[in-house]
Chain A
Amino acid sequence: MAERDVDHARKLVAEIRRNRRSQSPEDLARAASALGFAIDRSRSKDSYVWAIRSPGPKFPIPTTKNPVRVGTVTSILRILEEVLTDGSLG
């Protein structure tokens, strides 16, 4: 991953950390994409999209609630931060 992309991803994650109560499903999907997750919109009858990283973790992003509930945002943030700090971004 290019340095510039990592910086961009870092900014998006920082934004989620700052505003955990006002994250839309799209915001979360965007941050996940920036960290190399593929966004799979084909499952769960529109209730969720899946962020899948190969190799690596996967998690659901609920799309029925906007903004996404703070507990879920916190769980997602934890995964994104782990990916960001595990050094596999290049």
Chain B
Amino acid sequence: MAPLADQKSRAEELFRQPWSREVLVDEDGAYLARVPELPGCFADGDSLEEALANLDVVLRGWLTISLERGDPIPAPRRIADSFSGRFSVRVPRSLHEALSRRAEDEDCSLNQLVTVLLAEAVRSPHLPDTASSPDSTDVSEGIAADAVRSGSQAIAALKGIGTLLRDRGDVNLACVIYAMAASLVATVERAEVAAREFGMAASLARREKRNRLAEALLRESVQRDPTNLRSSSTLGQLLYWQGRYPEATVYLSRASSIDSYARLFLGWSYLLEGINLSDELQKREGLNNLDNALREWCYQKGDRASRASWLRQVQRLAKLGGRYVDEARHLVEFANANANWGPIDPAVVTSPEGDDDVSPAPEELHNSPL
């Protein structure tokens, strides 16, 4: 056996070899680092840095023990194969956190997400003019292979492909792929989980104003899980903006007890349908819901940022004339007593504050912090 000092210096020399280092995130979010060439050479940590520092300690130990016992030590992969497909990169913590969050949102591994993003980035500089053409980029073969398998691997891969398509601007296709992933989720998880996935795909479609697609996805979500109130509320709002009030009320009423947006839209749906049909009962129901939602809005979120949006709602109500003007004035009185945005002159319910257009923009309403 070699003298101890020789062994130590040999171990140190081996330690400085260009060993691969692979970092994985475990199921609980902790980091597991390993040297893939050396079986049993791994260490963990709460952060990437901690895991890699611990791996250095373990690597020294692993090499020392191997030298002492005369075990064979494989060559570092970077020498044997310069393009092994594994490399480690130090990134700012903020970027690491952002990537991890996005991977979590997409329900895929950090590794898969980074692979997709890198593939996209490597290709795009060479194809600057065709970035949005359908055949300008391709998913990696590994991800495509995962996508056609069954089970959770396929789900993550499909979501990765969906993200690639979304980032490329192919929103419709991205939604189709997300929906395929959601259908697969239904085979391995409870219906509620699949319904959430359909709901998330619908959010993308809605954000990009693909209303028919969003409606189809939301209906799928609600059908799979009627207790998914977020999808019910969103579907109701979508139907409302298309003037399909009776249909809208079906979905909005499910969520109206806990979702103030849903109650506001439910109120408008009943009220406008009641006016269309001259149905006093519906009008009263609508006004009641609208009144409750607007009072809650100014009481709970009476900050300056939401004042203009709130006021437009009230002005819109006043524009209906007759008793609705009185109702609007009562709402302003309530807001003046309870909201934090400062006093509103009751006269503005019938004469807008420096703005002739009193119709509420849908986007504005969506973004209002109700």
Contact = CB atoms under 8 A, between A and B. Distances in A.
Contacts of A89: none
Interface in B26-80: 26-28, 30-32, 34, 39-44, 54, 57-58, 61-62, 64-66, 69, 71
B39 A79 contact: yes
A58 B66 CA distance: 9
A52 interface: yes
A58 B58 CA distance: 11
A75 B61 contact: no
Chain B: interface residue count, which band?
Answer: 20 to 34
A34 to B, nearest CB: 18
Interface centre among B27, B39, B44, B66 (most CB of A within 10 A): B44
B32 A57 contact: no
A48 B26 contact: no
Nearest to A53: B40
Contact of A57 (B24, B34, B39, B43): B39
Given A59-B40, A71-B30, A74-B26, A44 B57 contact: yes
A52 B69 CA distance: 10
B44 A62 contact: yes
Contacts of B64: 43
A75 B32 contact: yes
A69 B32 contact: yes
A72 B61 contact: no
Contacts of A59: 40-42
B39 A70 contact: no
Contacts of B44: 62, 65, 69, 71-72
Given A44-B58, A72-B43, 5 more contacts: A54-B69, A57-B39, A57-B40, A62-B54, A71-B44
